[in-house]
Amino acid sequence: MSVVAQAAPLSARLREGTRAEHAEAESEGFVERLLAGDLDVHAYADLAVQQHAIYTALERAGERMRHDDRGRALVFDALTRVPAIERDLAHLYGPGWRDTARVLPATEQYVDRLRAVGGDLPSYAAHAYTRYLGDLSGGQVVKRMLQRHYGLSVAGLEFYTFPAIDKVKPFKDLYRERLDALALDAAEADAAVAEAQVAFRLNRAMFVDLGVAHP
């Protein structure tokens, strides 16, 4: 695995620094079974409940980051997910979805972490990168698999749809440029890469809990 120099752009360091964690999260049993069509739509709905808790905390941190002179450049309305997830949950569970939604212990830990560090720029950048660039990358693969295997088309999958982003590739490039332009110092950049590794591990732990709930 290539080690990216400390002076490399933040986006490159985040990508290289999380490559191993990405492979582990991607190959978690629950993810593989869900994408292979071996589970049912309830397993996806349960994942959506967990993602609702995570994005609620992430986007609260984003609102705070709008007041940060450096950080506000990384907060995009086009990426906001919570309203879309809530429409998905209403489609998947009905209007009373909040009564049936159960946030799993690993997700609680993830939410606690976001609450604890989300206001700090390197940490916010790490968590936002991990989720939003992931949704714009592998998330599009996940969407197609959910459409193929679980009878979902548009309704219920709005989380994976970004109506305000015309072309994904140029937007991902812009996002990486904004990461690089944050001008984090060496210690801040190291902290961001370490936090992104934590973020991937928290996602993996959430998949482990979901795997137990959906064997």
Q: If 0-12 CB within 10 Å is exposed, 13-18 middle and 19+ buried, where does residue 210 land? A: buried
DSSP H or E segment with residue 192: helix 186-213
Nearest residue to the partner ligand HEM, using Cβ: 138
End-to-end CA distance of the chain: 33
Would you count residue 62 as binding ligand HEM (CB under 6 A)?
Answer: no
Least Å distance, CB 67 to ligand HEM, is: 25
Q: Which two tokens stand for residue 95?
A: 């209007």
Q: Which is nearer to ligand HEM, 26 or 180 (CB)?
A: 26
The answer to whether residues 121 and 142 touch, using CB atoms and an 8 Å cutoff, is: no
Q: Which is nearer to ligand HEM, 101 or 168 (CB)?
A: 168
Would you count residue 51 as binding ligand HEM (CB under 6 A)?
Answer: no
- Selected from 122, 134, 156, 211, the binder of ligand HEM by CB under 6 A is 134
- Rounded to whole angstroms, the Cα distance separating 106 from 172 reads 28
Would you count residue 26 as binding ligand HEM (CB under 6 A)?
Answer: yes
Binding piece for ligand HEM, criterion CB under 6 A, among 20-28, 36-44, 104-112, 151-159: 20-28
> How many CB atoms within 10 Å of residue 30?
23
Q: Which is nearer to ligand HEM, 97 or 129 (CB)?
A: 129
The answer to whether residues 118 and 60 touch, using CB atoms and an 8 Å cutoff, is: yes
Would you count residue 111 as binding ligand HEM (CB under 6 A)?
Answer: no
Q: Is 182 helix (H, G, I), strand (E, B) or coil?
A: coil
Q: Which is nearer to ligand HEM, 90 or 172 (CB)?
A: 172
- Rounded to whole angstroms, the Cα distance separating 29 from 205 reads 11
Least Å distance, CB 142 to ligand HEM, is: 5
Question: Going by C-beta distance under 8 Å and a sequence separation of 6 or more, which residues neighbour residue 22?
Answer: 200
Q: Which is nearer to ligand HEM, 90 or 181 (CB)?
A: 181
Would you count residue 174 as binding ligand HEM (CB under 6 A)?
Answer: no
- Rounded to whole angstroms, the Cα distance separating 48 from 36 reads 18
- Selected from 13, 17, 25, 97, the binder of ligand HEM by CB under 6 A is 25
Amino acid making up residue 16: E
Would you count residue 203 as binding ligand HEM (CB under 6 A)?
Answer: yes
The footprint of ligand HEM (CB under 6 A) covers 14-15, 22, 25-26, 31, 129-131, 133-134, 137-138, 141-142, 200, 203
